[in-house]
């Protein structure tokens, strides 16, 4: 109709497309760096030759080819999948609770998934559920932790930053104590090492045959969440307005909580608890492309993949030949970032909110 302003979609799409192109290039560069650098350094052109040869079916032989293809490539791919998934999950959780301080780690989802997986590993039920015992336990733990934090933080129909943070910290302390108890009860050194892996996070155990499940979880879960971009925008704008426009906020929030918990549980079952990816990356993506989830989700996914690949590269090389758990690296970056966000949050009013 005449007199109505033209919608801004073309400009937004162009801007989002440019950002995605830059992030895709950054992902390629970070992947090549991750394949080339480590205790054994390999020239980038040789890395490209090995990768191209492997993809074409003429995989080169030798020590360098084995390092690139069998050791580093699965690790890079798992880092990309886990980083993208945690960033997407953090973006969605921030919309569900309408708080930019929300994060799978801070809200206890990662800790819950780790606790469930550790319980299954130590007490010998990892083979339950047709070999899906660990992912299933991680999913249940993730969803239970999220539900507990949400129930404690939402009081009288409202949720504040202070209560959300306190609830998340409380759940994390409880789950940390539980994991420590399981560590004490663990009878074998291999189990103790597995528990430490779950608590600190790491990509060192990545193998080709373990990439399918997290990749499917990311692709399917990410695609479903992308179709929910408009309801997420409505929820972020205000629960009353969303309800007025026909969105059943209660059912929608519960369904998306389950879907997000499933994605987090599968990812944490493969990488352990890696914190702050879902806090920092969505915030940075929102500063670039705005709060609209149709653009925000894919940008956050690529940004999370780049961030975790680089964090893992630092973990592998900073103290070589020793390896730092990647969760330690992300915490060293994410802790100060969280404090900065907490300080500038306009919705934080005291500790109790």
> Cα separation of 234 and 181, whole Å?
43
Distances (CA, A) of 107 to 44, 62, 132, 197, 350: 40, 46, 25, 20, 19
Q: Beta-carbon neighbour count of residue 336 at 10 Å?
A: 11
Q: What's the alpha-carbon Rg for the chain, to the nearest Å?
A: 21
pLDDT, mean of residues 121-134 = 59
pLDDT at 342: 74
Per-residue pLDDT tens digits for 219-246: 999 999 999 999 998 887 777 777 777 7
Inter-helix orientation angle 229-237/249-271, to 10°: 110
> Cα separation of 67 and 339, whole Å?
39
> Cα separation of 144 and 261, whole Å?
9
Per-residue pLDDT tens digits for 68-105: 888 899 999 999 999 999 999 999 988 888 878 778 87
> Cα separation of 78 and 56, whole Å?
21
Per-residue pLDDT tens digits for 143-192: 788 888 878 877 666 666 677 778 888 888 898 888 878 777 766 766 67
> Cα separation of 235 and 252, whole Å?
9
């Amino acid at each position: 109709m005449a007199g109505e302003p033209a919608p801004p979609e073309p400009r937004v799409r162009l801007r989002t497309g440019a950002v995605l192109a830059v992030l895709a290039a950054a992902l390629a560069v970070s992947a090549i760096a991750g394949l080339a650098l480590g205790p054994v350094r390999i020239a980038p052109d040789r890395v490209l030759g090995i990768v191209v040869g492997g993809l074409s079916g003429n995989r080169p032989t030798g020590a360098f080819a084995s390092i690139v293809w069998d050791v580093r490539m699965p690790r890079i791919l798992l880092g990309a999948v886990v980083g993208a998934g945690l960033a997407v999950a953090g973006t969605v959780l921030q919309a569900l609770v309408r708080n930019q301080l929300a994060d799978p780690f801070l809200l206890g989802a990662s800790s819950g998934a780790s606790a469930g997986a550790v319980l299954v590993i130590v007490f010998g039920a990892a083979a339950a559920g047709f070999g899906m015992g660990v992912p299933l336990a991680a999913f249940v733990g993730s969803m239970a932790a999220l539900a507990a934090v949400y129930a404690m933080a939402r009081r009288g129909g409202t949720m504040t930053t202070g209560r959300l943070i306190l609830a998340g910290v409380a759940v994390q302390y409880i789950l940390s104590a539980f994991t420590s108890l399981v560590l004490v009860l663990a009878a074998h050194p291999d189990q103790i090492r597995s528990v430490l892996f779950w608590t600190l996070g790491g990509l060192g155990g990545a193998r080709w045959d373990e990439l399918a499940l997290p990749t499917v979880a990311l692709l399917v879960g990410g695609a479903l969440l992308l179709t929910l971009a408009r309801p997420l925008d409505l929820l972020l704008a205000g629960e009353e307005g969303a309800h007025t426009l026909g969105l059943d906020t209660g059912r929608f929030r519960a369904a998306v909580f389950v879907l997000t918990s499933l994605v987090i549980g599968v990812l944490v079952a493969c990488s352990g608890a890696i914190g702050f990816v879902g806090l920092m990356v969505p915030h940075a993506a929102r500063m670039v492309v705005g709060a609209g989830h149709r653009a925000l989700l894919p940008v956050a996914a690529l940004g999370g993949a780049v961030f975790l690949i680089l964090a893992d590269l630092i973990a592998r090389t900073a103290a070589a030949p020793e390896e730092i758990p990647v969760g330690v690296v992300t915490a060293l970056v994410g802790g100060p970032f969280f404090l900065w966000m907490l300080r500038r949050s306009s919705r934080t009013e005291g500790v109790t909110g």
